[in-house]
Structure 1
Amino acid sequence: MSLHDDLTSVQRRLDDLMRCVGRLDEHAGQTLDMRRVRSAADHLRDSLTLLRESVPEATGRRVPEIVSIPDAPYDRGLWADAEDEGLGSPHRHAP
């Protein structure tokens, strides 16, 4: 089985689990243990969603966006009124 097939299979089983938890919730009521089971199932569903989003697509790997950083020095005007962390203003002495 491919990774995509495995994820689809897990998603189907998780959907079944969510339906069963819903039916169980009708019988068990609003107990602390039932809230824990519902919370755990919701957490599992969220985790699987995150996993599916992070896995490469079936057609190929997702290419991250490349951000180019220029080699030219920054404009010194950007730092005109900035203070050095821990040293204070350049017009005063460090403590």
Structure 2
Amino acid sequence: MSSLAMSSFVEQQIVLHQFTAKHCAQARVMLGWSREHLARQAGVAVEAIQQLEAHGEVDDETRLILAFCLEAQGLVFFPGFAPGWGMSVRRFD
């Protein structure tokens, strides 16, 4: 496996470990997004988001897509903590 492929694999495994069902719901609230809006942005079914948030069970690909979609909005995820804004994001409220 090339170092680039290994790096991508490791990154995906970290994301899968760090991004939880609770994170998904909390991130949507932080962004003011409905499940429907997240589904449109991520290109996944609303039912997949409902399944994740209710039971924590979706396939790895869907979990990665949702995590990367929310990370693209500037959020970061760590086990045991609510989502936070990344260092490179400037928020003016």
Shorter-chain TM band? under 0.3
Greater strand share, structure number: 2
Query: 1 or 2 for the larger relative contact order (CA 8 Å, sep ≥6)?
Result: 2
- In the superposition, the TM-score normalised over structure 1's length comes to 0.27
From the two aligned structures, give the one with the greater helix fraction: 2
Instruction: State the structure with more CA Rg.
Output: 1
TM-score by length of 2: 0.28
